[in-house]
Amino acid sequence: MKDRGSSGMALTESFQPRRQRKALFTAPLHARRKMMTAPLSKELRERYGIKRLPVRKGDVVRIVRGSYAGMEGKVNRVDLRKMRIYIDGITRERMDGTPTFVPIHPSKVVIIKLDLSDKERGKVIERRKGRSEEEIEKKEE
């Protein structure tokens, strides 16, 4: 048996791609929220001392992959069931001419401005920052 390592959030013990996919597609919403993380920009990473956070409505993100790369906008909606985010200004026209939002996977964006209107999110950042500092001290010893 191979060692899986401590990735932290393994959905399944299996190595089989079909079971990996099944675990991904049938994951509960609280697990999907953790999968909807995006890296922070270098400035935010230096300021807060953490590398990534789950994307929320109100965050400002920059798309770094795909045909919309380089575009920035505010997150309009986070769809946990489809595992996609919708960003203001990133739209395409339907056949009848009405604009519709383009779904973007959160791994293809970088958070450039956090929405800190929720106090709980600030607490999460402080908690994770403290944990990362403790891990760094343990590694130095």
Residue 8, pLDDT > 60, answer: no
Domain assignment of residue 7, yes or no: no
- Residue 64 placed within a domain: yes
Report the CATH number at residue 132: 2.30.30.30
Contact 57, 78 (CB under 8 A): yes
Q: What is the pLDDT of residue 3?
A: 55
| Phi, psi angle pair for 87, to nearest 5° | -120, 135
Contact between residue 4 and residue 10 where contact means Cβ atoms under 8 Å apart = yes
Token pair of 81 as six digits: 């069931």
Within-domain flag for 84: yes
Residues 6+ apart with CB under 8 A from 120: none
Residue 12 placed within a domain = no
**Can you give the pLDDT at residue 130?**
77
Does any domain span residue 17? no
pLDDT grade for 1, boundaries at 50, 70 and 90? very low
Percent of the chain with pLDDT over 90: 77
State how far the Cα of 87 lies from the Cα of 59, in Å rounded to an integer: 9
Mean pLDDT of 31-35: 92
Identify the pLDDT of residue 139: 59
Range(s) of the domain holding residue 126:
37-140
For the chain, the domain total comes to 1
Burial 108-127, CB ≥16 within 10 A → b, else e: bbbbebbeeeeeebeeebee
Do 76 and 89 meet the contact criterion of CB atoms below 8 Å apart? no
Judge whether 24 lies within some domain: no
Phi, psi (degrees; rounded to nearest 5) at 18: -65, -35
**pLDDT class for 9, splitting at 50, 70, 90?**
low
pLDDT tens for 53-72 read: 999 999 999 999 999 999 99
* Residue 19 within any structural domain of the chain: no
Looking at residue 41, the DSSP 8-state letter turns out to be P
